[in-house]
Amino acid sequence: MIDDTDRAIINALQGGFPVCDRPFLVAAESLGLTETALIDRIAKLRADGVLSRFGPMYNADRFGGHNTLVAIEVPEDRFDEVAAIVNAFPEVAHNYARAHRLNMWFVVAAQSRAEVDRVLTEVEAATGLTVHDMPKQREFHVGLRFEA
């Protein structure tokens, strides 16, 4: 379980991590922690799966990267098999089962639209299922900050 210090770290460091030679030292000072304590806490949060990573969230549009949301109607008895195929692609960033006839939803992210297309073609070939490609046309809001 996470404690109040972990919560303070999570709430303070969803963005705004210093870019300097000793960033953990700078961040630790404003949290009233030592540099080592902050690093150890973050390592534990990551090991425990509370954090998916400590790193960047990119705006891929700004450097020519592409991503799309993909939906597939997967027969119930093939769900695990298809999930394993899809998840094996490093370009698949996340994948959720959702309650709908289109029941598998995942994001494909790559450096170019051609790479995204290649992944979609390969997923169709490997699964024999139709993929519904729904690329972002316009972004209105990206928040994804969660209070711990």
Partner 1 sequence: MDVNGRDLELIGALSGGLALQANPFAALGQSIGMDEAEVLARLQDLRDRGVIRRLGVIVRHHELGYRANAMVVWDIPDEKVSEIGKILGAAPEVTLCYRRPRRLPDWPYNLFTMIHGRDRLSVERALAAMAEREGVAHYPRHVLFSLRRFKQCGARYGRAMAAE
Burial (CB count <10 Å: 0-12, 13-18, 19+), residue 118: middle
Which residue, 69, 59, 99, 104, is CA-closest to 85? 104
Task: Give the shortest CB-57-to-partner 1 separation in angstroms.
Answer: 4
Residues 102-131 that bind partner 1 (CB under 8 A): 102-103, 105-107, 109-111, 115
Token pair listed for 118: 């290649």
Sorted by sequence, the CB contacts under 8 Å of residue 15 that are 6+ apart come out as 57, 145
Single out the residue of 141, 76, 65, 64 nearest to residue 103, CA to CA.
Answer: 76
Q: How far is the CB of 27 from partner 1 (least distance, A)?
A: 9
Given candidates 4, 76, 77, 139, which one binds partner 1 under the rule CB under 8 A?
A: 139
Closer CB to partner 1, residue 4 or residue 63?
Answer: 63
The answer to the question of residue 141 lying near partner 1 (CB under 8 A) is yes
Among residues 112 and 121, whose Cβ is nearest to partner 1? 112
In the complex, the smallest distance separating the C-beta of residue 125 from partner 1, rounded to whole angstroms, is 20
Site for partner 1 in 37-96 (CB under 8 A): 39, 42-43, 45-46, 48-60, 62-65, 67, 69, 71, 73, 83, 86-87, 90-96
Q: In this structure, are residues 103 and 109 in contact, taking their beta carbons and an 8 Å threshold?
A: no
Other CB atoms within 10 A of residue 45 CB: 17
Which residue number, 84 or 125, has a Cβ lying nearer to partner 1? 84
